[in-house]
Amino acid sequence: MSAPGEAGAATSRLPILFIMMTVMIDSMGIGLILPVLPDLILELNGGTLAAAAIWGGILSTSFAVMQFLCGPLLGTLSDRYGRRPVLLVSVGVMALDYLVMALAGTIWLLLGARVVAGVTAATQSTATAFLADISAPHEKAVRFGLVGASFGLGFVLGPLLGGLLGEMGTRAPFYAAAALAALNLALGWLVLPETVTDATRRAFRWRAANPLGAVRHLGRLDGVRVLLAVYFLYQLAFYVYPATWAYFTQARFGWDPGLIGVSLAVFGISMAGVQGVLIRPAQRRLGEPRMVQLGLSLCIAAFVTLAALTDGRVALALIPAAALGAVVAPSLQSLMSRATPGDEQGALQGVLTSVNAVAVILAPLVMTGTFAAFTHPAAPVYLPGAAFLLSAALVALALGLFLRCGPASG
């Protein structure tokens, strides 16, 4: 438990604002560079657009791999040394890293900077652990929902800001991101308290600081192993949207890039609304187990419906309903946080960051591969929505696991 003074400060709005800003800037970092990335790679490396696309894939994969490797490390470090130093150092390095990307003169320096960016983006584990420290059990799902809402907002703002600032030059988005991170660092320095005390501090162990060791360790806790499997299946299925949406909507409905961008923005805003606003009354009325069941069921219905649709107007109208499935992640996080000792909250959130990173790495390969298999000229049947049917099957498996082995509804 925190000291009274610390607890009072920790539960004020400013520290939570800092956490939300940190997660939002992490999320923005993924999409911020996308609008300018082709031109920037050509500027640095020359060659063709096809070769630039290969480098773009390398940059994206390196970012996700570092998140996978470093999520448990930063979470475990925060269990030992505290949330405040890990968060402030990471945000400070993030600001400097964006500045390096703005000044990078070679593709290799840009790659190195993206590797560092992947490490700093792994601070979501520590940010979520901070919220777990300051939240009563019944508040966890709501607070974790704020993290999801911040991520959704960053998902929307990143490409929009990157595209807008990209009109001023390929380096402008990086300067803006560096300024945002520096301002957030100043806010955190002033308002962020420490929530790890001698009573909850845990010795640093390399076994818990690497992804595989951390998963094995936490998997021994009652119920956590099954919930981790459900979480992974859900995340892998849910990433069908960013992985295939642009291809699916063009093939099925003939949408142009502008309409695709608008639809993705609507989806991000809808997710932010679900996780930031709707989850609080839903948690009070239903409780986390029922929210997981309902959210997974809604995901199955949305995926199957999208796979069968032929009218783009209906698909656009369905987006807010499809986003209702976003209640699953914070509800699962809350259930796992309750089942994990107080001195391992950082390790748990680090594992969840790594699990999510694996989904980010695999989803583009699995989902676009499925899309391609059912849309190329020699396909046995033309089915642009095949990836959504695969996602429905993955979520159905997750729901079956949860109903069989997960917590009972309360």
Helices 257-273, 312-322: axis angle to 10 degrees equals: 20
At a CB cut-off of 8 Å and minimum separation 6, what does 198 contact? Answer: none
Question: 80 falls in which pLDDT band (50, 70, 90)?
Answer: confident
Q: What pLDDT was estimated at residue 7?
A: 42
Question: Token digits for 113?
Answer: 């900077």
* Alpha carbon distance 261, 245 (integer Å): 10
The yes-or-no verdict on residue 171 having pLDDT over 80 is yes
At a CB cut-off of 8 Å and minimum separation 6, what does 405 contact? Answer: 223, 226
Radius of gyration (C-alpha) of the chain in whole angstroms: 21
Mean of pLDDT values over 28-52: 73
Question: 200 falls in which pLDDT band (50, 70, 90)?
Answer: low
Distance (Å) of CA 37 to CA 33, 52, 177: 6, 8, 15
Q: What pLDDT was estimated at residue 409?
A: 52
**pLDDT tens by residue, 120-139:** 877 777 887 888 788 777 77
**pLDDT tens by residue, 387-408:** 999 999 999 999 999 998 766 5
Q: What pLDDT was estimated at residue 149?
A: 76
Q: What pLDDT was estimated at residue 8?
A: 43
Share of residues in the chain with pLDDT > 90 (%): 15
Q: What pLDDT was estimated at residue 11?
A: 45
Q: What pLDDT was estimated at residue 10?
A: 42
* Alpha carbon distance 134, 281 (integer Å): 20
The yes-or-no verdict on residue 214 having pLDDT over 60 is no
Question: 169 falls in which pLDDT band (50, 70, 90)?
Answer: confident
Question: 140 falls in which pLDDT band (50, 70, 90)?
Answer: confident
Q: What pLDDT was estimated at residue 1?
A: 37
Question: 35 falls in which pLDDT band (50, 70, 90)?
Answer: low
Choice between 60 and 253, residue whose per-residue pLDDT is larger = 253
* Alpha carbon distance 230, 369 (integer Å): 23
Question: Token digits for 250?
Answer: 């063009």
Question: 5 falls in which pLDDT band (50, 70, 90)?
Answer: very low
The yes-or-no verdict on residue 2 having pLDDT over 70 is no
Q: What is the mean pLDDT of the chain?
A: 80
Helices 345-373, 240-253: axis angle to 10 degrees equals: 20
Q: What pLDDT was estimated at residue 219?
A: 57
140-154, 275-289, 324-338: range with highest mean pLDDT:
324-338
Question: 156 falls in which pLDDT band (50, 70, 90)?
Answer: confident
Question: 246 falls in which pLDDT band (50, 70, 90)?
Answer: confident
The yes-or-no verdict on residue 82 having pLDDT over 70 is yes
**pLDDT tens by residue, 93-119:** 989 998 998 898 898 999 999 889 888
Does this model's pTM top 0.75? My answer is no
Q: What pLDDT was estimated at residue 343?
A: 64
Distance (Å) of CA 33 to CA 10, 27, 261, 378, 392: 33, 11, 15, 35, 31
Question: Token digits for 67?
Answer: 């998140």
